[in-house]
Copies of this chain bind each other. A is one copy, B any other.
Amino acid sequence: MSEVLKIFKIGGGIIDDAAQLGQFLAALARVPGPKMVVHGGGKGASQMLQDLGIAPQMVQGRRITDAATLDIVTMFYAGKTNKQVVAGLQQHGVDALGLSGADGNVIRASKRPVKEIDYGFVGDLDEHSVNTGLLQTLLGTGLTPVFCAITHDGHGQLLNTNADTIASSLARALAPFYQVELHFCFEKDGVLADVTDETSVIPQITPGQYQELKARGVIAAGMVPKLDNAFAALEAGVERVVIENALKINEPVKTILCRN
C-alpha cells in the first residue's frame, strides 16, 4: 500500500487575510505525513496593477496576461505570497520549500493557443507536465513543496496558470506513486445542500449523486467547474477529493468526493 499524500489548494480569499492565513498554516502543521500546498493569487496583484496604472484586462471573466501583468503576478505569487507561506510554515516547524513550475522544471506548460481570445502569457498543462521524480525526491527528504500558480514553457517564458488546474494536475500525476488526497480549501465548510444554510454540508458525494444534484440544480453555477474537475481527478486515479473550510481542516465537517 503506497503512502498517503495530501495536496491542499488554498484560494485568494485566505491569502488576502494575514490572520486567517496564519491560522490555516498553523492547522496545516498539525496534519501528519507528506503534504503539498498550492496557493492562488488574491487581490494584491490586481491592487498593485491598479496602483501602477496598469488596468487589469479581463475578457469573459478571465484575466488577460500581458507582459506587464505577468511581471506583477510573478512578483506577487512567486515572490510575496509564496515566501510568506513558506516562512509561515517554517515558523510552525514544517520544512516548506516554495516552487514555481520553472524551479527544477517541476511543471512545464504550453502557452495557450490564440483562438477567439488571446489570453496572453497563460499556461495550459498536459498529462506530461509534472516532474514527478523531483517531487518524490523532495517529499522523500521530508520537504513540503509549496506551489504558486506560475509555470514555464522550457524556453525561458514564464506563464500564468490556474491554481486549481495546477493542484489537480499534481494530484493526477502523483496518483501512481501515492494515495493522493486533493483538498480544495475555501471559505465554506463544504458543498452545501442549501446555499442559504451554512450548516447544510453534504458529507459525501459519489459520481452518481453528483449527476443527480446537478440535474436538480442543488449544485450551482460556480461550484460546477470545480466539482467537474474534482470528479475527473478521481477518475484519473486520485484517491479522494475533499472540499472543506480552510480554517477547519482538522475538524470533521467537510464534503468528501469519492469514486463510488
Residues of A within 8 A of B (CB): 48, 51-52, 71, 74-80, 82-84, 86-88, 90-91, 95-100, 102-105, 134, 137, 141, 143, 150, 152, 154-158
CA distance A158 to B89 in the complex (A): 12
* Chain B residues whose CB sits within 8 angstroms of the CB of A83 once the complex forms: 74, 78, 100, 102-103, 150, 152, 158
The chain B residue with its CB closest to the CB of A146 is B103
Q: Please provide the 3 A-B residue pairs with the shortest distance between their CB atoms, ordered closest to farther.
A: A79-B79, A91-B156, A75-B75
Q: Which of B51, B84, B104, B155 interacts with A143 by CB under 8 Å? A: B104
Interface of chain A: mostly helix, strand, loop or mixed: helix
A105 contacts B95, C-beta separation under 8 Å: yes
* Chain B residues whose CB sits within 8 angstroms of the CB of A97 once the complex forms: 99, 103-104
Q: Which of B86, B154, B155, B156 interacts with A103 by CB under 8 Å? A: B86
Q: Which of B98, B105, B158 interacts with A84 by CB under 8 Å? A: B158
CA distance A247 to B52 in the complex (A): 33
> Most chain-B CB neighbours within 10 Å: which of A90, A100, A141?
A90
The chain B residue with its CB closest to the CB of A104 is B97
